[in-house]
Chain A
Amino acid sequence: MLNEHEKEKYNRQLILDNFGLDGQERLKQARVLIAGAGGLGSPISIYLAAAGVGTIRIIDKDVVSLSNLNRQILYNKKDIGGKKSLLAGNKLKKLNSDIKVEAIAETIDNSNVSQLTAGFDIIMDATDNFQTRYLLNEAALKIQIPFIYGGIYGMEGALTTIIRGQSACLKCIFPSSPPPLPCQSPVLGATAGIIGCLQAMEAIKYLSHTGELLLDRLLIFDGLYMNFRKMKLNRNPECPDCGRFSSRDNKFGGFVKKP
């Protein structure tokens, strides 16, 4: 149950249509995994913490460097050389002391992905490579939780919400991974902010049972010319990751709404 302090703190979202005390209570009970504490992980974690998501686990093995600071708004100059996950954890606890934050300084790989994702309600993609994204996509399908993909390049980006049996998965959309980006690939901080905030919005909608999810749609943002476009996605019946799951094979009931 929400206490009086929480009711006041979250008042401005509690009065949203179709959100209410129930929606806030669901956020409080929710456990969200954020894979990556960089450009996307910064806005995702800040907005989910501020919104009152009860438990946030943030995973990243990297340390902060000077060239991160144009977009990784969890950190400042004093943080350079420190572990991102631990710094992020401290920052998020200061931002909202009523939530639980777990910081894990590990690389997500085949050997630990099941253990790291077990018991969570949703996985937020804030990674910078497709090898890890495919692992998380598979893990989310296996334990029947949503995976919110986001990716950025320069002043452009894209996102979609993936739910087993309800939407195309990452392998349906991109059957093979692009080569890893060079470390010097271009990116504007505001691009990460826009895509990360949209991912956070999807998570809050899902967790609070509000609105319609971005299922089977890839939203593409073009900041250079300020266009948003939605592309239709289709499940690949022969997808190696999700082809075997039927559309009836989901545990989400009636609140998963498609556009």
Chain B
Amino acid sequence: MNAIRLAGKFRKLVNGLEEINFNDVSSISECINRLEDLYPGVKAAICDENGEVLKIIDIFVNGDNIRSLEGLSSRLKDGDEIDIISAFAGG
């Protein structure tokens, strides 16, 4: 099982849940597609029209940024934890 957490203003897109759990998810892009199936609007908030992750978004797998892994193709294994955050701008 994989736990996915959305922080900041994204959280309302998943009804304020602390985390969402998926079984058998193989990559970050599959993870985003499965989120979109359950919570329409998530993908448009994370990715641009070409399907690339917006530059105001950071996605981490077990605390490692997917920019230093293989981006959206980064592979996931059972137990990996995914954090999706947008820049916190308020002060």
Contacts and interface: CB of A to CB of B under 8 A. Distances in A.
A181 interface: yes
Contact of A36 (B5, B65, B68, B91): B91
A130 B87 CA distance: 9
Interface stretch (A4-12, A74-82, A147-155): A147-155
Contact of A128 (B7, B63, B91): B91
Size class of the B contact interface (CB-based, 8 Å): 20 to 34
Contacts of A41: 91
Nearest to A38: B91
Interface centre among A158, A174, A222 (most CB of B within 10 A): A174
A180 interface: yes
Interface residues of A, number: 43
B89 A231 contact: no
30 contacts: A39-B90, A40-B91, A41-B91, A128-B90, A150-B91, A151-B89, A151-B90, A152-B90, A152-B91, A157-B90, A173-B58, A174-B55, A174-B56, A176-B54, A176-B55, A177-B87, A177-B89, A178-B89, A180-B89, A187-B90, A218-B85, A220-B83, A220-B85, A227-B18, A231-B58, A231-B83, A232-B60, A233-B65, A234-B65, A234-B68
Contacts of A126: 91
A100 to B, nearest CB: 24
A5 B24 CA distance: 64
B88 A153 contact: yes
B56 A176 contact: yes
A231 B65 contact: yes
A151 B7 contact: no
